Structure 1
């Protein structure tokens, strides 16, 4: 083992306990707004979607699918006109519309007649709550894109965990209590969102312009296949409703704990590979549910789909943070993959006539989905090194921005200098942050390292580059004074 690597290992182990406590101490002021604010909105969307799925529209998924289609329309419009409306958090009209429509949708849904809901009533409730839900998701995505990688993983996974648990606990609430809960959730979320934005440093706030870029379409294709597979299973008559929240809670809790306590000792590439075995194991056990239990299959499929969605959310928020591209485009297109889940809802009705490899019905569908997932997941495994730092280079999209600002140019020059002088992956990260003008405290918080560890990294960088100061370092990478 190289001396530098051994030093990193020893210093990392010595600073683990203090690093965890220090990280939470620094994060505590923004902990409640970031965690609970997005969780409130997650719970609101889940509860509203469940109510529409119970509407009598002639098909099992008609109500929830229509609700999702309205949300998809909002995501599409925001992605198409992102250059005109971004950043969304600066538009008071977006805040007002999100809150008013959310409350109106909540009251309309809660006051819906017990019998068949009239179409005008249903259309108003669905339109108001779906538009509000989509706007809140995009506003929170803009907030998450302001955070460093650790913050993104911690707060998004924590919000998914708390929001899913909250929706599951509140699903039996009805009547006046339901109206009060559904109306309070978006208002509380908006308050938390404003408090969280107030704590973001100006340099990290969303930008209003960005250069041309190549969208990471192969990632969207992979998520689309997972959405389709989950949608097929979700629409099956034997699907267990409690399997999905359990799957989400399990993967969100695992990622959250990893981010809080084991991030420095965890290879993040293992996280984006994990959805594959979860989904495959879930689909493979479908033909044997009589002996193994359908609940296990549905939980594994739900966990695989949820983890894939979480991983892609982490990545796209980090790409937005690094390159300045609006999340209205990145996360807006990500949300559009839900159309594949809606398409999957139509498959079980056609499965009786499907035959494949001598299998029929549900077994044939499961085999076909397994093949699709294997082929799509191959895009995540081929040609990538597990030692590549996660983030913009996580899926090989480091060259996403063709025309970008000075920030990207500095990062590119840092990469060239790091490769030419044999800097380690962590030393390269420190080099980039120093070149971008980060203070020592900001670097320690973003990389989750102690002050002594940072000083050791800086000393080795100076030795390898043959320099003696930060001014020389910045001049070497063309970062100016």
Structure 2
């Protein structure tokens, strides 16, 4: 009973606006569902994805001048207008015109708006520590899947008003979420990309993996045939586990453990995406949705964590990754349309097997070397130099980068767990116990126990000792 009360209190404490991205996911799934809006098409969706690619790359390129996006009123207004107008064109074409042309252009507008609104949400998530992000994002995914499940039973005639309102709610909640976090005491929300942006390399490894996965998803014809309830269960399974892990916070069940579960599930999902294997459609669709949503959580954890720890622009990080990922999907889809009709079944099967092998190999290689939520995924801190002679060369890290790097080094050398490392980072930011408890969604006694474990491992007795040790690690990093 105590666990249920804890779960209820934790869920009740999440501001509803923080779950707004779930509304966007439900809206997108419903708007592009050909069973509901008959004039929607795969071709229009892929063309709309190209618009999303363009928006992501543009906003990533101009991030230094535009960020934070949530403070740009014209960005919020443009997303609201384009998404609602796109929805009107799609539903109007289905209910009145029935030409397919309006749906095509409506999809382009809606997908353009989606690309921008997702980056506003990324700004919000990039300002959250790992635990807080995992809770909010996973709860939002569950909310989105439930909305999609229940609303998909409605006809287009009943559903269309919601399709116009939902994107408006989404972008307003994204703006409100960013504003609330930015106003919190001790907020880590970056008002603009910091000077550290030029000293931290991009996490190329994860982007390569995402590109391969997206290419495979576009090239395969993902098996269908599962019931809507089974798809819902597959899509909501891992997000529910993450929510439980955060709110229960037991030694045996934590977010970093769920992080590791995603790897085998995603690998199995990658294999079952191949229709040639003859796997039952319901089983394959269940596994695919579970792996797809779980992998989305991992990707967001990695990028949000990098943004949070190093003060990087979430718009730049995620804009580049999403642009490359969707481009890979388009290329995969186009090759499938061009190659598959010209090849025999054996050749097509061979291509799919080869793609599955490459994908699984990348999963295994990259996740084994990046086995926890604080892995860098290939991120390197680049030294800034000064002076004309080698003797004058020195490291000039930004304060936030230096602090995060010192915490990482200290945690590894003293064997801190992922949870303890997260708390150490919050302590290094000089947050109060109350602020840390709120961000980790834990009770006061639980935090004290974690802090005592950290102090024992570091052989210190107070925060003052901790700050002194951090200063020593920072000096050592600067001098190396």
TM-score for both structures, normalised by structure 1: 0.80
SS of corresponding position for 1:111: helix
Q: Separation in 1 of the partners of 2:90 and 2:26?
A: 15
Mean Cα deviation higher: 150-159 or 466-475: 466-475
Distance in 1, matches of 2:240 and 2:456, equals 41
Q: 1:151 to 1:433 in 2, by over 3 A?
A: closer
Partner of 1:309: 296
What is the match of residue 294 of structure 1?
Answer: 281
Q: Give how far 1:339 is off.
A: 2.2
Please give the per-residue CA displacement for 1:379-426, whole angstroms capped at 9, x wherever unaligned. 324435x5xx523x2645474897752122123334445556666665
Contact 1:161 1:253 in 2 (8 A): yes
Question: Deviation of residue 143 (structure 1)?
Answer: 1.5
SS at match of 1:478: helix
Q: 2:393 matched to which residue of 1?
A: none
Structure 1 match to 2:390:
none
Report the equivalent of 1:206: 190
Q: Are the aligned partners of 1:353 and 1:360 in contact in 2 as well (CA < 8 Å)?
A: no
Q: In 2, distance between residues paired with 1:141 and 1:325?
A: 12
Q: Which residue of 2 aligns with 1:84?
A: 65
The equivalent of 1:9 in structure 2 is none
RMSD value over aligned CA atoms?
Answer: 3.5
For structure 1, the 5+ residue unaligned runs are 1-15
Q: 1:342 is matched with which residue?
A: 330
Pair 343,417 (structure 1): closer, same or farther in 2 beyond 3 Å: closer
Q: CA deviation at 1:282?
A: 1.1
Contact 1:53 1:62 in 2 (8 A): no
Distance 1:396 1:297 in 2: 32
SS of match in other structure, 1:205: coil
Q: Which residue of 2 aligns with 1:32?
A: 16
**Gap runs ≥5 in structure 2:** 385-395, 475-480
Confirm whether residue 193 of structure 1 aligns to residue 174 of structure 2.
yes
Query: Which of 96, 112, 118 in structure 1 is aligned with 2:93?
Result: 112
Where 2:32 maps in the other structure, the secondary structure is helix
1:368 aligns with 2:357: no
Aligned equivalent of 2:31, options 41, 48, 59: 48
User: 1:261 maps to what in 2?
Assistant: 248
Q: After superposition, give the CA deviation of every residue in 1:191-248 in whole Å (9 maximum; x if it has no partner).
A: 4334433432152223302221211111111112222222233367x67695765532
Question: 1:407 and 1:52, CA in 2 relative to 1: closer, same or farther beyond 3 A?
Answer: farther
Equivalent-residue separation in structure 2 for 1:400 and 1:299 (angstroms): 43
Are 1:444 and 2:430 matched, yes or no? no
**Residue 21 of structure 1: how far off its partner (Å):** 5.1
Question: Partners of 2:193 and 2:430 in 1: how far apart?
Answer: 21
SS at match of 1:274: helix
Aligned 8 A contact 1:164 1:245 in 2: yes
Quick one: distance in 2 between partners of 1:428 and 1:462? 12
1:86–1:364 distance in 2 versus 1, CA, 3 Å: same
Where does residue 53 of structure 2 map in the other structure?
72
Looking at structure 1, the residues matched to 13 and 117 of structure 2 have their Cα atoms a distance apart, in angstroms, of 22
Alignment of 1:376-391 (within 5 A): 376-384=362-370, 386=371, 390-391=373-374
Q: How far is the alpha carbon of 1:77 from its aligned partner?
A: 0.7
CA, structure 1 residues 404+132, in 2 after alignment: closer, same or farther (shift >3 Å)?
A: farther
Q: Of 61, 66, 88, which residue of structure 1 is paired with 2:42?
A: 61
Taking structure 1 as reference, are residues 184 and 116 closer, same or farther at Cα in structure 2, changes over 3 Å only? closer
Structure 1 residues 475, 232: closer, same or farther in 2, change over 3 A? same
> Which one of 264, 268, 272 corresponds to residue 278 of structure 1?
268
> Match of 1:11?
none
User: 2: distance between equivalents of 1:239 and 1:352?
Assistant: 23
Distance 1:451 1:412 in 2: 27
Could you tell me how far apart the structure 2 residues matched to 1:420 and 1:376 are? 28
Instruction: Give the CA deviation at 1:81.
Output: 0.9
Residue from 198, 205, 217 that aligns with 1:218? 205
